[in-house]
Structure 1
Amino acid sequence: MEIGMPSLSPTMTQGNIAVWRKKEGDEVAAGDVLCEIETDKATLEMESMEDGFLGKILVGDGVKDIPVGQPICLMVDTKDELSTIGDYKPSGGGDSSPPPPKKEESAPPPPTPKKEESKPAPSKPAPASSSPQSGGDRVFATPAARKFAEEKSVSLSSIKGTGLDGSIVKADVEDYLAKGPSPSEKPVSSTDQHVAGGAPPSGMAPLGDLDYTDIPNTQIRRVIAKRLLQSKQTIPHYYLSLELRVDKLLELRSTLNATLDASKKKDTPAKKISLNDFVIKAAALALKKVPEVNSTWTDEYIRQYNNVNISVAVQTENGLMVPVVKDADKKGLGTITDDVKSLAGKARSNTLKPNEYEGGTFTVSNLGGPFGIKQFCAIINPPQAAILAVGTTEKKVIPGLVPGEYDVGTFMTVTMSCDHRVVDGAVGAQWLGAFKGYIEDPMTLML
């Protein structure tokens, strides 16, 4: 029985084999880990669903970009069957759409004169020779890719597929939208012609005598880049900033941590509630007060969520990860502290499970505490409608209650990035006002 590359997350279209835990010929019980698979989010263990023997490994350690469904190993029921495998060849896999012909030699595209590249391309470009087509005009694509392309008014004939035998998957359409039309699909200016002659690939400037090192992009890094580019190009961002006084919050935090330290068990580290834990709780309660922000845009409707799940940005060696604190509005500060510590540790060790990074409805990104950044604007994490960027705390001299006297206060600047399709300016301001109320009067977080 062939075992295909599994789909371990809704956004996964391909995966990498990190390492095989079992060897060919090993006996396997249901639940045993066969291999570790690197997805677009994390490295996950693939378990066997049945008892048997690992007959043949079809895709070895370190192989990358394996389409979902492509056979990666062969399982047999009995040990005697191991000797019958021989030079077994996989039957194929990947998307369920019918595979296109392996070769298109019988129908090559007509030659194009070299001088044509200096003229504007027609408004509806002819399909490129690399497009996954049969001898006629048929384009092979998954149902999800066809539906998404139709929604975005994109011609599939303009897209090069990366699925099995060149078929188009949804991710190919998303990549096409993110990158825009290829040079052959849009007019070429005289400036473009001049640069195109000797420019390095990918639109890079000439390197000259520069010394450099090319660092290969991991699958996670490529997915992050694609999603951020998609967010900035398709979501109309706007930004709202507010300065908050946090003296009362810092005082309450100090009191709570002292209480936790006094009550801890001997030889165990004390739990420490961070300022960011207060921010997560305050953001969650503000979302309950202003639920319009806890939403997602679609072309047909705005979906407003009843759950308040806060995504927390965590920097890792593989890039930015956003594990999710589920139902943060219903949790106490101590529980949020435990959740964030556990999730951040898993994010840094690349062991997050899909249910630990999916389902977020709002994101908090803090560059203040770890890096001392005063203020910044964050990119919205789609399909969410807003993200909160948290800066560092700083002391400021402010007018006192008595004329002529001055006081010193501790302040923190936060900036909210909003999707204007979902969150109108007044609604964003209303949410920030609710958030400010919780931060500046932190005892209300306990109610």
Structure 2
Amino acid sequence: MPIELKMPALSPTMEEGTLAKWLVKEGDEVKSGDILAEIETDKATMEFEAVDEGTIGQIIVAEGTDGVKVGAPIAILLGEGEDAAAAAKPTPAVKPAPAAKKEEAPAAAAPVAPAAKAESAVAPAAKAAAASSDGRVKASPLARRIADQQGIDLAALSGSGPNGRIVKADLEGAQPGAAAPAAKAETPAASPAAAPVAVSAPAPAQIPDIPHDAVKLSSMRKVIARRLTESKQTVPHIYLTVDIQLDALLKLRGELNKGLEPRGVKLSVNDMLIKALAVALIEVPSCNVMLAGDQLVTFKRADVSVAVSIPSGLITPIIAGADSKSLSAIANEMKDLAARAKDGKLKPEEYQGGTASLSNMGMFGIKQFEAVINPPQGMIMAIGAGERRPYVVNDELTVATVMSATGSFDHRAIDGADGAKLMKAFKRLVENPLGMIA
């Protein structure tokens, strides 16, 4: 019988993706292992492989469609002897893809959203179940966070989850202070009042009548915007800055690169700073932590996420166990990760996780900045440019190569004194670099 090919979950946190490109067309024969499509997640473009063999009978989701939910059918695979007519039947049930276009026609959102049908079927019971005996509305933590950010009144919604619990899908199409379109259908009497609310929904900013270009946000850019907003809203940042003399590190780098030249390895300053941060995190384990609900997790290994700028946004490939790796190994690994990051070819495990982050903007001439923490990590180190400055060395004023480094710490998990210890250890290791490679 025909097999539904569904949008795969290409990372543990993936909820939806963009079907960037089909590499097959209807009528093509495929076998297990063939690449069928390229799917854009929030961090990378990944290949979707066939598991079974057969013939592509129908492509349900066109390439370029974004907001395709994980598990949604995207194509039909026919077995031997089956024809395309067998694939036509599932199509109506799979066409919720237009839900991704709800911004273009808000009024039509109710009949398209699958959640709306479920809500109307359980409306009275769900609304009663959604409110507990103490008057609190039952909703998942994610649904509550989205409702808080968008100003949606959960009490006005009906839940399609277990026991009437409000879940993320129930918020699709909901307006600030109002119920989702499905809720309007449940209470016809409220429709006249609901119409003005829909007009006052947070629409895209009015673009001035000035010549301009407008580009649709990529999945990555949407996730970056959401995660950084959540970080600044929910994580109390504390910032600690130190000035660090780089002359000894630059001298050692030059000597090491001469020795590594026959092996084709060239160390960057950033490679050495990754190592210094990793060693400092092991020296000050109270900063190598993350907050996980009511637990404080302390890691015994330093996996450093390194911010890399790519055309579609920012990604943080990870140098796992950087505290125990040689500088040459870090340099080779970082070169490979950065190249594949820019091509969108990183595997999820290569950019998800990490115990702390490092962001270096020194190559752009930025003297000092404060980076936003990448939750659930507990800290991020922001590196400024090394420049010749007046500096006191051995109680004498001289000119030295100095950079400013600023640590951003999650003050819920890391006390200011512990953050200061990490900054002190990082400064010592950079100014006395033999200590990190001994």
TM-score by length of 1: 0.77
Amino acid at match of 2:373: I
Q: Give the equivalent residue in structure 2 for 1:378.
A: 371
Q: Give the equivalent residue in structure 1 for 2:70.
A: 68
After superposition, the Cα gap between the structure-2 partners of 1:347 and 1:150, relative to the gap in structure 1 and judged at 3 Å, is: closer
- Asked if the contact 1:131–1:159 (Cα under 8 Å) also holds between the matched residues in 2, the reply is no
Q: Give the equivalent residue in structure 2 for 1:267.
A: none
Aligned counterparts, 1:96-107, within 5 A: none
The reply to whether residue 298 of structure 1 matches residue 326 of structure 2 is: no
After superposition, the C-alpha distances for 1:345-372 in whole angstroms (9 at most, x for unaligned) are 1111111111111111100000012x01
- Asked if the contact 1:69–1:94 (Cα under 8 Å) also holds between the matched residues in 2, the reply is no
Question: Which of 312, 319, 322 in structure 1 is aligned with 2:316?
Answer: 322
After superposition, the C-alpha distances for 1:303-340 in whole angstroms (9 at most, x for unaligned) are 22223211110111100111111111121111111111
Q: Give the equivalent residue in structure 2 for 1:56.
A: 58
Partners in 1 of 2:245 and 2:289 — Cα distance? 28
After superposition, the Cα gap between the structure-2 partners of 1:381 and 1:208, relative to the gap in structure 1 and judged at 3 Å, is: closer
- Asked if the contact 1:132–1:168 (Cα under 8 Å) also holds between the matched residues in 2, the reply is no
Amino acid at match of 2:232: K
Question: Which of 272, 281, 284 in structure 1 is aligned with 2:275?
Answer: 281
Partners in 1 of 2:342 and 2:170 — Cα distance? 29
| Secondary structure of 1:223's aligned partner | helix
Question: Which of 124, 136, 139 in structure 1 is aligned with 2:124?
Answer: 136
Aligned length: 386
After superposition, the Cα gap between the structure-2 partners of 1:207 and 1:53, relative to the gap in structure 1 and judged at 3 Å, is: closer
Question: Which of 11, 25, 30 in structure 1 is aligned with 2:32?
Answer: 30
Partners in 2 of 1:380 and 1:307 — Cα distance? 19
Amino acid at match of 2:28: D
Amino acid at match of 2:217: N
After superposition, the Cα gap between the structure-2 partners of 1:376 and 1:339, relative to the gap in structure 1 and judged at 3 Å, is: same
- Shifted more, 207-216 versus 389-398: the winner is 207-216
- Asked if the contact 1:130–1:160 (Cα under 8 Å) also holds between the matched residues in 2, the reply is no
Instruction: Give the Å deviation of 1:293.
Output: 1.3
The reply to whether residue 410 of structure 1 matches residue 410 of structure 2 is: no
Instruction: Give the Å deviation of 1:91.
Output: 7.3
After superposition, the C-alpha distances for 1:4-26 in whole angstroms (9 at most, x for unaligned) are 11111122111111111122222
Aligned counterparts, 1:204-243, within 5 A: 204=205, 209-243=209-243
Partners in 2 of 1:63 and 1:329 — Cα distance? 42
The reply to whether residue 388 of structure 1 matches residue 389 of structure 2 is: no
Partners in 2 of 1:258 and 1:60 — Cα distance? 53
| Secondary structure of 1:36's aligned partner | strand
- Asked if the contact 2:143–2:168 (Cα under 8 Å) also holds between the matched residues in 1, the reply is no
Instruction: Give the Å deviation of 1:236.
Output: 0.3
- Asked if the contact 1:19–1:61 (Cα under 8 Å) also holds between the matched residues in 2, the reply is yes
Instruction: Give the Å deviation of 1:202.
Output: 3.9
Partners in 2 of 1:48 and 1:27 — Cα distance? 11
| Secondary structure of 2:385's aligned partner | strand
More helix by share: 2
Amino acid at match of 1:368: G
After superposition, the C-alpha distances for 1:274-298 in whole angstroms (9 at most, x for unaligned) are 1111110011111111112121113
Instruction: Give the Å deviation of 1:422.
Output: 0.3
After superposition, the Cα gap between the structure-2 partners of 1:174 and 1:328, relative to the gap in structure 1 and judged at 3 Å, is: farther
- Asked if the contact 2:76–2:87 (Cα under 8 Å) also holds between the matched residues in 1, the reply is no
- How large is the RMSD of aligned CA atoms in angstroms? 3.6
After superposition, the C-alpha distances for 1:17-71 in whole angstroms (9 at most, x for unaligned) are 1111122222222111111111111110011122332222111211111111110
TM-score by length of 2: 0.78
Q: Give the equivalent residue in structure 1 for 2:246.
A: 246
Amino acid at match of 1:326: A
- Asked if the contact 1:294–1:304 (Cα under 8 Å) also holds between the matched residues in 2, the reply is yes
| Secondary structure of 1:46's aligned partner | strand
| Secondary structure of 1:85's aligned partner | helix
Partners in 1 of 2:173 and 2:277 — Cα distance? 33
Instruction: Give the Å deviation of 1:75.
Output: 1.6
Q: Give the equivalent residue in structure 2 for 1:87.
A: 88
Percent identity for Structure 1 against Structure 2: 39
Q: Give the equivalent residue in structure 1 for 2:425.
A: 434
Amino acid at match of 1:292: S
Amino acid at match of 1:88: K
- Asked if the contact 2:126–2:158 (Cα under 8 Å) also holds between the matched residues in 1, the reply is no
Amino acid at match of 1:251: K
| Structure 1: runs of 5 or more not aligned | 96-101, 106-128, 186-195, 265-269
